[in-house]
Amino acid sequence: MSVETMQLECPLPIVDYPNVVLAHGGGGRLSRTLVEKIFLGAYPNDVLAALHDGAVLDVHGGRVAFSTDSYVIDPPFFPGGDIGSLAVHGTINDLAMCGARPLALSAGFILEEGFPMADLWRIALSMRNAAAAASTPIVTGDTKVVDRGKGDGIFINTTGVGIVPAGIELAPRRARPGDAVLVSGSIATHGIAIMSIREGLEFETALATDSAALHGMVAALLDAIGTDVHVLRDPTRGGVASALCEIADSARVGIRIDEAAIPVLDEVRGACEILGFDPLYVANEGKLIAFVAADRAEQALDALRAHPLGRDAARIGTVTDEHPGHVLQRSRIGGLRAIEMLSGEQLPRIC
């Protein structure tokens, strides 16, 4: 089939936006539309259609998780981290959300002519240290340089592979009525830490990113309750709100969350109020959401809280067979509020 014939049979699936906008990369509704209409339309297959953090493939009697992510965060250095450690943590976490134990990473660099060599060395060392701490070596990579003015300093892509233990089946569609919804700690810290230095905005706080590799905490959770973990998701772009909406839609279940139960640091809450942000929609890089069987929820919380990255874990909601595909939040004063996916771009280039 010629390219011309394919184009006639497959008309452009997005007509309301003739050009890509920043919000198409924000993790909210426009990102979802872009993925579903452009990429799922172009590459239809059951593995991709699961819209998980990574693909789980059957390989010679075992299962391998495979995930890739690109990092364009601005600025590349921020309180508590940098684009290099973030790129290592992010892809390890995507593998961990599939239940996989990571084996190795690749790293691809797109550098703009003029990017300081000292900064590149600093980022390379940060990646080395993050990978070593996670016992996940960087084993292959690629480097490209673009003309001055045709990039933005540095972009990094990392791809990872890992092994999924036998019996572990984690996927957004596995959320079921009655499941408890857990979060591993205080939300929205990463996004507000970035905003604390971006474009000259500063707050009277020492907030640092929560970026961290979560595979060790996931292994502890799976060791504790095994197959009673149904879904894991790291709520990065679009925050907890968009992640929950995606899961509710994938599993065709309703989700109810309790605002008072959701942990948010006081300084993060204060900064959100000043900036007009809702913490539910702000990005995280070192937190996870877990959907677990209700009768194992306390055991799951104990396992999370026993890990240094999960000591503030909390149960924030429940899955219901009511209002399938939708998320409702009970407010601190007792009202119900519909939670929607992020419709625009709250914080661009946050990861």
Query: Per-residue pLDDT tens for 109-157?
Result: 999 999 999 999 999 999 999 999 999 999 999 999 999 999 999 999 9
Between strands 336-339 and 180-183, the pairing is unpaired
- Rounded CA gap, 128 and 131, in Å? 5
- Kindly report the average pLDDT of the chain as a whole number: 93
Q: What pLDDT score was predicted for residue 204? A: 64
201: DSSP letter: -
Report residue 83's pLDDT band, with 50, 70 and 90 as the boundaries: very high
Q: What pLDDT score was predicted for residue 278? A: 94
**Position 8 pLDDT exceeds 60:** no
Q: What pLDDT score was predicted for residue 14? A: 78
Beta-ladder partners of 319: 255
Q: What pLDDT score was predicted for residue 9? A: 65
Residue 343 sits at the vertex; the CA angle it makes with 340 and 347, to the nearest 5 degrees, is: 110
Give Rg (Cα) of the chain.
20
**pLDDT tens digits for range 271-283:** 898 888 999 999 9
Q: What pLDDT score was predicted for residue 349? A: 86
Q: What's the rounded mean pLDDT across residues 58-81?
A: 94
pTM, rounded to two decimals: 0.93
**Position 289 pLDDT exceeds 60:** yes
The number of C-alpha atoms within 13 Å of 333 and in the hemisphere containing its C-beta is 1
Q: What pLDDT score was predicted for residue 346? A: 72
